[in-house]
Structure 1
Amino acid sequence: MRKDGELPANTTGPAGPTGPWSLVVPLKPLPLAKSRLADAVGPLLRPRLALAFAQDTVAAALSCPAVRDVVVVTDDPLAAEALSALGAAVVPDAPAAGLNAALAYGADVARARHPGAPVAALNADLPALRPAELGRVLGMAGQFPRAFLSDAAEIGTTLLAAAPGMELRPAFGGASRLRHLSSGAVEIPPAGVVSVRRDVDTGADLRAALELGVGPRTAERWPVTEPPARVVRTGG
C-alpha cells in the first residue's frame, strides 16, 4: 500500500517548475566528516575521501543540464577552495546551528542569487552520481511543491526539492524519509535513479558505490591495493 505523500511510478502530478535548478550541498569540516567510514578506510584516508565524494558530487551536479548552479555550505577552507574551483558558490556554515539550518540558509542564498528558481538540497556523499539520473529526479520533483528521494536504505533522504515560493523545510538526519513524508513532501519513485540514492556512510556503502562506478576524484583517492578494485564512472 502506498504511504501518504508517496508518488506511484505511473502517476504524474500538476504542472510545475522544471528548472534550471539551484542545488544546495552541505559539507561538514573534513576532520569531522564521514566518521562512520573510519573503521573501513582508516583515519587518514577518511577526510580525503569525504572531500573526494563532495568533489565528484558537485562536478556531476554541475554537469546536469537541469542545474543552474550549486551552493555549497561549509566552513572547511580546503573543501571551499576545491569546490569553488569546480564552479560551485561556497558560503560559510554556522557550525552550532546544525545540518538543517545550514540547508535552509543555503536555500535562502540560492534564492537570493536566482529569484524564482526551484531549489533542492543534495547530499555531498554521492560519488557515483550520474548527471542524467539527477536530471530525471529533478524533472519529477519539478511537478510538485515539495518532493524528496530516499536513500538506498529507504531510511534517509538524499535529495529534497522545493518549487519557487515554497519553503524547503529540510528534516535531514537519521530516519528523514518518514519525516519528509510526514511534512507533506511527495516521494519520488526510486526506479532508475540508483546513483542519486547511493550515499556513502559505511564501508559497505563505499563498496556499493564502487560497483556502480565512482567519479575520478574518489577513484584517485581509493588505494589500488584496497578491495574492491576501483571502478571509474564514465559518461552520464
Structure 2
Amino acid sequence: MRPVGRNGAPVTWTLVVPLKPLARAKTRLSDAAGDGPRASLALAFAQDTVGAALASRWVREVTVVTDDPLAGRELSALGARILPDSPGLGLNAALAHGARAVREERPGAAVAALNADLPALRTVELDLVLEAAADFSRAFLADAAGVGTTLLSAAPGAELAPAFGGPSRDRHRASGAREIELAGVDSVRRDVDTAGDLRAAVALGVGSHTRARLADMQGTAYTYDPETRAGSVLLDDGTPLPFDTAAFDAGGLRMLRPGQRVRIEVAGEGEQRRVVFVTLQTF
C-alpha cells in the first residue's frame, strides 16, 4: 500500500545522499584496507546504497551531494542526480544544501537524508522505513550501534534540520524528530566505518559493487620464499600473481604460509599485473 502523509496525501521521497571526496572518505578503514582500496570501497558502498535506493517504489529521486568527479560519474550512471557541494562546510551543511536544492524545484517535496555507506542496503527494508517515516513531520532511524543516524526524513513543509555525526541519535530526538522503531530493517541501520562494521555488512549480504571490490582485494598465499621474502598469490578466480620483497615488506609481515588468506593491492595491467602490497586478511 502506498504510504500517505498526515494530511492524507500520497508520499514519495527524494533522498539526499552526501558523499565526501573519495580520497578523504572512510579513513577509519585505512588500517584494514589501505588508502587506495579504502577509496574504492567508499565508492562501492555509495553505488550499492544509491542503486538499492533508486529501486525503492517510494523513492522519486536520489540527489547525491558530492564534489568527487569519479563518484559523480559513476552514481549519475546509476540514475542519481549529482549536486556539487558548494557550501563545502561538512556533512550537515551538504545535506541542508541538498534539501534546499530539491525544494527550490519542488517546494512540496518530501525529503530524506540517507547515509552513503550502506553497502548491504535492501530495497524492501528501505521501503518499510520510508513507509513509517510518512507518519511523521520529521523522523529518523538510528544506526546499528544505537548511537548515530542512518536516515532522517522531513515531510512537506518541515525542515530537514540534519544533525549527523557522532551521537546524532540523541540530537535528532532532542530536535523533535520521531524515532522510527522497526524490526527487520538491519540493512538500513548497517553503516560502515570500521573493519568490524564491514564484516557485519558482509554477513548481511553486501551489494554487487562492494562484493566485487572485496573480491579484488583478497587472495590466498600460493608460494613464499623466506630467503627472498617473495612469492605469489592466487586470486579467487585461480589467477596467480607474483609479489616481490617490497610488496611483502610493505605489509609488515614476518612470515607467510601457503594457504593463508591475504589482503592485497594490485597494480599494472595484463601480463604486467602484480601484487604491490600483501598482508593478512583483517575483514
Q: Do Structure 1 and Structure 2 share a fold, with TM-score over 0.5? A: yes
Q: Do the aligned partners of 2:87 and 2:97 also contact (CA within 8 Å) in 1? A: no
The residue number in structure 2 matching 1:80 is 72
Closer/same/farther in 2, CA of residues 106 and 71 from structure 1, 3 Å limit: same
Aligned residue type for 2:45:
F
How well do the aligned residues superpose, as a CA RMSD in angstroms?
A: 1.7
Superposition TM-score, scaled by structure 1 size: 0.87
Closer/same/farther in 2, CA of residues 191 and 207 from structure 1, 3 Å limit: same
Say if 2:50 is the partner of 1:69. Answer: no
Report the Cα offset of residue 183 of structure 1: 0.2
Higher relative contact order (CA 8 A, sep 6+): 1
Query: Structure 2 residue aligned with 1:142, among 134, 146, 151?
Result: 134
The residue number in structure 2 matching 1:183 is 175
Closer/same/farther in 2, CA of residues 14 and 28 from structure 1, 3 Å limit: same
What secondary structure does 2:35 align onto?
coil
Q: How does 1:48-197 map to 2 (within 5 A)?
A: 48-94=40-86, 96-197=88-189
What secondary structure does 2:135 align onto?
coil
Query: Structure 2 residue aligned with 1:217, among 194, 205, 209?
Result: 209
What secondary structure does 1:120 align onto?
strand
Q: Determine which structure has more spread, i.e. the larger CA radius of gyration.
A: 2
Report the Cα offset of residue 111 of structure 1: 1.8
- Identity, in percent, stands at 63
Distance in 2 of aligned mates of 1:125 and 1:166: 25
Query: Structure 1 residue aligned with 2:19, among 14, 27, 50?
Result: 27
Bigger strand fraction? 2
Report the Cα offset of residue 16 of structure 1: 5.8
Gaps of 5+ in 2: 221-260, 263-283
Q: Do the aligned partners of 1:18 and 1:138 also contact (CA within 8 Å) in 2? A: no
Closer/same/farther in 2, CA of residues 16 and 153 from structure 1, 3 Å limit: farther
Report the Cα offset of residue 18 of structure 1: 4.9
Closer/same/farther in 2, CA of residues 197 and 16 from structure 1, 3 Å limit: farther
What secondary structure does 2:15 align onto?
strand
Aligned residue type for 2:126:
L
Report the Cα offset of residue 116 of structure 1: 1.5
Superposition TM-score, scaled by structure 2 size: 0.73
Report the Cα offset of residue 225 of structure 1: 2.6
Gaps of 5+ in 1: 1-12, 229-236
Report the Cα offset of residue 96 of structure 1: 3.7
Residue deviations 1:3-35, cap 9 Å, x none?
A: xxxxxxxxxx95666521000000000000000
Residue deviations 1:23-69, cap 9 Å, x none?
A: 00000000000000111111110000000000000000000000000
Distance in 2 of aligned mates of 1:146 and 1:164: 10
Distance in 2 of aligned mates of 1:14 and 1:62: 24
After superposing the two structures, state which structure 1 stretch, 105-114 or 75-84, moved more: 105-114
Distance in 2 of aligned mates of 1:18 and 1:210: 35
Q: Do the aligned partners of 2:11 and 2:58 also contact (CA within 8 Å) in 1? A: yes
The residue number in structure 1 matching 2:248 is none
